[in-house]
Amino acid sequence: MEAATTLSGAGHGCTQSDRFRLTRRLSEALAAPLGDADATVQSMPDASPAKWHLAHTTWFFETFLLRDHVPDYRLHDTRWAFLFNSYYEAEGARHARAARGMLSRPTLEEVLHYRACVDRAMESLLDRPEVASLIELGIQHEQQHQELLLTDIKHAFWSNPLGPVYLSAKAGHPNSAAIGGWLDYPGGVARIGHGGEGFAFDNEGPSHRVLLEPFALAERCVTNREWEAFIADGGYRTAALWLSDGWAWVQREGITAPLYWRDEEQFTLSGWRHRQPDAPVTHISYFEADAFATWAGMRLPTELEWEAIALSHDPAAGNQLDGAAPVHPVGSPGLFGDVWQWTRSAYLPYPRFRPCEGAVGEYNGKFMSGQFVLRGASCATPRGHSRATYRNFFYPHQRWQFTGLRLAKDV
């Protein structure tokens, strides 16, 4: 089934009330092409059913806003908190993540009704300044799940031997991946982390100073053509290129190419398509990114280096999710869009970091162990959601997200 709904997000210049409504509508537009079975399937433990994403983001508003800030509010269904809590220990027991695909009930129709009921109740809170920061967190949270919804659908449809089409193919703008030089940074003291106005997640701060040595960052991401050369040169067969854990992963899982590759094709949200040589490579793990950088005689940037360069770039530019851009990498200029970019930085707290109080304090801080930071935005990131200080993070073996790499070098 193909999408018949225009995908449009919460644009710039909107009031928070408008952004709330637009964000909620976009999630439902993303799910519109799906039948109940499509929205229920869970293709692996890292992914979640589309229906669960729709319900969980609604549970977030119901739990942290309606329940606590609307007198005499009655939960839509008291049993559903167990089903749609993700990882908030302070909110009690929850259904096992790996078994979310077993939730044949509630149906997709019932989940959409749940969303409508919560949205109507939220109208009474949208103009109350004392809850504006929580509403903003809920909007940003739902935008994160919009990207997850798309990548989880992609994995589920790829797992189907029929290779279903979710979105009809959109032509990408001419890419600039075939050319590109280096962005030089002279080194010195840089200020890193969010310290200004506007929304940021708690893990983006506090702002602090760091000392950077001179370096250069590639103007473009590594392409499919370059990755094919890596494969042809024995990249997946040469142990010396790999971190020890990465080589063990390659051997154990039989990894020979990025996720979704076969022959000269790759699977996309538009089904199986011929692989574009000059489009950014995507769906690679940290292990693969690091091995490629070693093979190329370069390295991955640190997240601090990436941010120092990105501060002068437009975070809303590039190929990101909106009503016009294709939901696949095409090779757009700039540091944002197409693919999230692995850095060599472990996901750790900044100096003087303190998580928020209460259950929402579980949002980021407790995951600062064993993961690596990615920067930028992808073709599935709602436009306007990311910024130079944004810290995405995944475990080093994970690659079902739109993950790629941009090389760095010392100068």
For every residue of 61-118, DSSP letters joined together read HIIIIIHHHSTT---S-TTHHHHH--S-GGG-----GGGGGG---S-HHHHHHHHHHH
**Measured distance CA(409)–CA(411) in Å, rounded:** 6
Q: Which helix (H) or strand (E) holds 34?
A: none
Residue 173 has pLDDT above 80, yes or no: no
Mean pLDDT confidence for 200-216: 96
Closest to 337 (Cα-Cα) out of 307, 373, 378, 306: 378
CA-to-CA separations, 113 to 83, 86, 143, in angstroms, rounded? 16, 20, 20
The tokens describing 14, both together, are 């909107």
Taking residues 247-272, what's their average pLDDT? Answer: 98
Q: Are 133 and 358 in contact (CB under 8 A)?
A: no
Q: Over the stretch 222-235, which tens digit does the pLDDT of each residue have?
A: 999 999 999 999 99
* Residue position matching structure tokens 């693969």: 288
Exposed / middle / buried, residue 210 (Cβ in 10 Å: 0-12, 13-18, 19+) = middle
pLDDT at 171: 62
Distance CA 398, CA 282 (A): 12
- Between 273 and 325, the higher pLDDT residue: 273
32 alpha carbon, distance to own chain's centre: 20
Q: Give the single-character DSSP code of 280.
A: B
More confident call, 177 vs 50 = 50
Residue 271 has pLDDT above 80, yes or no: yes
For residue 386, which of 152, 92, 102, 140 has the smallest C-alpha distance? 140
Q: Tokens in use for 384? A: 């306007």
- pLDDT value of residue 365: 81
Which residues share a beta bridge with 393? 373
- pLDDT of 13 above 90: no
* Spatial distance between the Cα atoms of 283 and 7, rounded to a whole number of angstroms: 23
Task: Find tokens 């494969």 and name the residue.
Answer: 231
- Please check the confidence at residue 101 and state whether its pLDDT lies above 60: yes
pLDDT for res 175: 58
Strand partners, 382: 321
Helix (H) or strand (E) run with residue 224 in it: helix 224-232
Average pLDDT over residues 108-125: 98
Where does the pLDDT of residue 357 fall: very low under 50, low under 70, confident under 90, or very high at 90 and above? confident
CA distance 59 to 81: 7
Which CATH number describes the domain made up of 182-410? 3.90.1580.10
Which pair of tokens denotes residue 280? Answer: 């950014």
Determine how many CB atoms are found less than 10 A away from the CB of residue 98.
13
pLDDT number for residue 10:
58
Mean pLDDT across the chain: 93
Kindly state the tokens that stand for 35.
Answer: 């039948």
Distance of alpha carbon 48 from alpha carbon 147, whole angstroms? 12
* Domain residue ranges of the chain, discontinuous segments joined by +: 16-159, 182-410
Mean pLDDT of the 23-46 span: 97
Give the end-to-end CA distance of the chain in Å, rounded to a whole number.
51
pLDDT digits (tens, 9 = 90+) for 295-346: 999 999 999 999 999 999 999 999 999 977 789 999 999 999 999 999 999 9
CA distances from 387 to 91, 296, 312 (A): 30, 29, 11
CATH number 3.90.1580 given to 16-159: no
Residue 364 has pLDDT above 60, yes or no: yes
157 burial level (CB within 10 Å; 0-12, 13-18, 19+)? buried
Alpha carbon distances (Å) from 342 to 35, 64, 317: 34, 32, 19
- Which is more confident, 169 or 401? 401
| Mean pLDDT confidence for 151-168 | 97
Burial environment of residue 110 by CB neighbours within 10 A (0 to 12, 13 to 18, 19 or more): middle
Section 45-70 average pLDDT: 97
Structure tokens given for 324: 């016009």
Residue 358 amino acid letter: G
Q: List the structure tokens of 285.
A: 């793990």
Alpha-carbon dihedral of residues 100, 104, 109, 114, nearest 10 degrees? -50
